[in-house]
Amino acid sequence: MAERLGFIGLGAMGLPMAKRLLGGGFPLLAFDQNPAALQALVDAGAEAATSIKDVADNVECVLVSLPTPDVVKIVALGEGGVCEGSRVKTFIDLSTTGPRMAESIATGLAEHDIAQMDSPVSGGVGGAEKGTLAVMVAGPEALWDRYKPALEFIGKPFFVGETPGHGQMIKLLNNYLSATAMVATAEAFVVGAKAGLDPDVMVEVICAGSGMNTAVRDKFPKSILTRTFDYGFRTELMHKDVKLAMEEAEALGVPMWVGQPVKQWWAYSLARGGNQEDFTHMVRYMEEQAGGVEIRSRRNAPKE
């Protein structure tokens, strides 16, 4: 029988990832501070823990998918955190925290004889549901060998190396590119809408051409042309990722000219829409600045 694993943080990403592990035959002991989120996984077959420490007292390996670096730090090293667990030996962090936070958590956990594998993921909620995420793993190679079979139910795991934080570094660079593509694509489609182009035709042409990226291929058709703005990733998290990438670049002495306006766009969207809004709303603020154009599919629209 597969090893029983702990899972903490059952939000937009955590819940589908945990369900994939259950589906792969891994029994789970789970916890979330939101009882409804926990119940959703219990309904899928997991056992509910009463606290973070309860998880860490009863399994050797705890996976977490938590919103921000500070929350991961509290869950890992705070009072009643994973570090106080009597049984836990491995902490697999699927969240995006940035390399320096990953390093500091690894150091803190090592004092309690717990090894960290920073293992952030990319591919969105759809990828989490389908088990097609890219998983970027940094940590001790022996643990990679041990937990790779479990991570394969979440997506495609890549071993980045043993240096703590290197999984996070690749993840931030990946998301910097994704965040930049989103802003640039919004600009291109706003210009197209103003010029009178059909946005569905723009998607088809660009996907067959050299401008193709994940915003044009996935995000615009699913959540913007439909005006549903429901892709499943919050502006707050997008802003966090770009900010963390810029901080790393600055610490390494690399100027990021393009990153500055990209970060500004996400900061502006966050100021406009608040913490909980889906990141695709950013396009609405850009449409507004262009004089109120709308990037809306004309297909299946009611005839005037």
**Residue placing its CB nearer to ligand NAD in the complex, 243 or 296:** 243
Two structure tokens written together for 18: 């945990």
Question: Which residue is closest to ligand NAD by CB?
Answer: 11
Residue with tokens 């509910």: 48
Q: How far apart are CA 36 and CA 27, in angstroms?
A: 20
Position among 18, 19, 32, 183 found at the interface with ligand NAD (CB under 6 A): 32
Q: What type of residue sits at position 187?
A: E
Question: In angstroms, what is the minimal distance from the CB of 10 to ligand NAD?
Answer: 5
**Residue placing its CB nearer to ligand NAD in the complex, 64 or 115:** 64
Does 76 contact ligand NAD by CB under 6 A? no
Q: Nearest CA to 66 among 297, 289, 229, 240? A: 240
Binders of ligand NAD among residues 123 to 162 (CB under 6 A) are 124-125
Q: Nearest CA to 7 among 76, 83, 74, 65? A: 65
Q: How far apart are CA 227 and CA 221, in angstroms?
A: 9
x/- map, 2-31, ligand NAD, by CB under 6 A: ------xxxxxxx----------------x
Does 95 contact ligand NAD by CB under 6 A? yes
Does 91 contact ligand NAD by CB under 6 A? no
Q: How far apart are CA 270 and CA 179, in angstroms?
A: 14
Task: Respond yes or no: is residue 171 known to be catalytic.
Answer: yes
Q: How far apart are CA 213 and CA 19, in angstroms?
A: 29
Q: Nearest CA to 135 among 162, 158, 161? A: 158
Does 42 contact ligand NAD by CB under 6 A? no
Q: State the catalytic residue, choosing from 53, 148, 156, 171.
A: 171
Q: How far apart are CA 212 and CA 204, in angstroms?
A: 10
Position among 27, 33, 80, 140 found at the interface with ligand NAD (CB under 6 A): 33
List phi, psi (to 5°) of 62.
-115, 125
Does 236 contact ligand NAD by CB under 6 A? no
Angle between helix axes 69-77 and 99-110 (nearest 10 degrees) is 0
x/- map, 194-223, ligand NAD, by CB under 6 A: ------------------------------
**Residue placing its CB nearer to ligand NAD in the complex, 66 or 203:** 66
CA 138 to chain centre: 17
Question: In angstroms, what is the minimal distance from the CB of 189 to ligand NAD?
Answer: 21
Question: Which residues sit at the interface with ligand NAD, rule CB under 6 A?
Answer: 8-14, 31-34, 37, 65-67, 71, 74-75, 95-96, 121-122, 124-125, 232-233, 237
Q: Which residues are catalytic?
A: 171
